[in-house]
Amino acid sequence: MRKFNFMLMMLASVFTMGSCSSNNDDPVSTNPFDNITESSNKERDKIVIISDLHLGNDLTYSENVKHLKRLEEFLGEVRSSGTVKELVIGGDMFDEWYIPTRSETYPGGSQADFIKKSVKANQGVFDLLNGIIKDGKIKLTYVPGNHDMGFTPENVNLALPGVNQARDPKDKFGIGTYRPDDYPQIAIEHGHRYDFFNAIAPNANEAEAPGATLPPGYFFARIAANSFTDPTTKDAATKVPEVKLQDPSNPEQYSKNVYYSLWKHVLEEVIFVKDNFSEPIIKTNVGNFTKTYSINDIMPTNNPSDGSIQMKLYNNLFTQASWDARTKYNNVPFPTNINKAIAGSLNTEFLDDQSDEQYFKNATSNTRIVVFGHTHKPMIKTFTNVLGQDCIYANSGTWEDQKTRDKNAAIDQDNLKMDFVIISPVNSDRKKLRVSLFNYHGGKHVPVDSKSVDL
């Protein structure tokens, strides 16, 4: 009898516990996206933004190798979250630019083959992204960047069937701006349309490559790949030939000298290489370029006859009128100063501040939050628009590895880069948004900064 009574007591205890559990709130999720301070964490209302993944198709030189497993973990968390509404990839998901100069971009194949090879090289990442699309719970949006500006919508769809692609109309598919569902006050773009080195460059080299639109940054990236795949020391690097500005009063010559100064600084201080600058080493066969070029073909030189600064490629880009026309082609609302734009390719505060110049100071824009990638420098900044309202700019950073020329260097890759941004309502108030910047260091969501704005 005692045994029977004990069993009844145990059963009653179990039912009581079950009853108590059913009266409580939903159990706390262990997914970090579902446990964010100042969020209701009860509905799908979070927008997650990442950019600059730089997924190459050859992991022997890709810019993202060490971070791939963490990226897979991160995407798995996004996919399993019950509160993420959208995932936005803000450009440079693929990388058609960072390829050693002596390598063919499409060796015996096509752009579609390049895409398929990129998917295979990063299969775990694309399996998760395609899983997000197929689940149908989280909207996945891709915005083009400069390193993947040449990929057609059809070829991106080969990698991510059904992905939402945010692109500017018609032939300007290499740029785009995304405004999330229900939030026209948010603008997400890569940011390269404002960059002299990386904005689409139509009619720049018609004599050499009719129809080509790839900008100077394409050649910069090809040369940069050499710096790390075939490294040398700063002292042993090939020195940049001297170029003199003969006529500072000539605006075009002055701008070409600014361009030269940037190249000189980068090649002697940042991406030094040991290549002979006169040797044709840059194999193209991409984006209507068909020839093999030398570094000198891109670099400014003094014309032997009159001493003026000239170059083989991009020689006609260096007037203010030309830059104005180019920014207009790239759908930039307000033209910028050409010399500031050239220097701003390296001193990237200029690019970050275009969020203010092009959006917040634009009296016709209702944009209150802008997110760029491109510079690889994660940050949050605040501005005030023309109506005196608070505005927020965020840069979503990068997931590329920390580069090194020393293959034996001890680098803690697990605590470098891997940045992301979350935009979410504050306590379910859709008129008050918090913009938060995180690192995914050690597989954890590490807060960096956050700001809120009342829409």
Residue range 227-239: mean pLDDT, rounded: 95
Q: Is the pLDDT of residue 389 over 80?
A: yes
What φ, ψ does residue 215 adopt, rounded to 5°? -85, 175
Residues 319-358: pLDDT tens digits?
999 999 999 999 999 999 999 999 999 999 999 999 999 9
**Distance separating alpha carbons of residues 434 and 46, to the nearest angstrom:** 10
Residue range 362-383: mean pLDDT, rounded: 98
**Distance separating alpha carbons of residues 142 and 380, to the nearest angstrom:** 22
Residue with tokens 């209701």: 40
Whole-model pTM: value is 0.93
Q: What is the mean pLDDT of the chain?
A: 93
For residue 4, what pLDDT is reported? 39
Residue with tokens 């993944």: 53
- Of all residues in the chain, the percent with pLDDT exceeding 70 is 94
Picking from 357, 363, 381, the residue whose alpha carbon sits closest to that of residue 371 is 381
Exposed / middle / buried, residue 251 (Cβ in 10 Å: 0-12, 13-18, 19+): middle
Q: Is the pLDDT of residue 259 over 70?
A: yes
Least confident piece of the model among 22-31, 62-71, 231-240, 263-272: 22-31
Number of other CB atoms surrounding residue 99 within 10 Å: 25
Residue range 138-157: mean pLDDT, rounded: 98
Backbone region of residue 227 per phi and psi (left: phi > 0; alpha: psi in -120 to 50; beta: other values): alpha
Residue range 112-128: mean pLDDT, rounded: 98
For residue 38, what pLDDT is reported? 84
Q: Is the pLDDT of residue 189 over 60?
A: yes
- Of all residues in the chain, the percent with pLDDT exceeding 90 is 90
Question: Which helix H or strand E contains 141, and what residues bound it?
Answer: strand 139-142
For residue 6, what pLDDT is reported? 38
Residue range 70-90: mean pLDDT, rounded: 98
Picking from 249, 219, 255, the residue whose alpha carbon sits closest to that of residue 342 is 255
pLDDT level of residue 280 (50, 70, 90 thresholds): very high
For residue 28, what pLDDT is reported? 61
Residues 5-22: pLDDT tens digits?
433 333 344 333 343 333
DSSP character for 405? S
Least confident piece of the model among 25-29, 379-383, 400-404, 412-416: 25-29
Tokens at 444, concatenated = 């954890």
For residue 19, what pLDDT is reported? 38
- Edge to edge, what strands does the sheet with 164-165 contain? 164-165, 139-142, 84-89, 46-50, 419-426, 429-441, 444-454
Residue range 387-402: mean pLDDT, rounded: 98
For residue 5, what pLDDT is reported? 43
For residue 265, give every residue at least 6 positions away whose Cβ sits within 8 Å of its Cβ, in sequence order, or none.
346
For residue 165, what pLDDT is reported? 98
Q: Is the pLDDT of residue 286 over 50?
A: yes
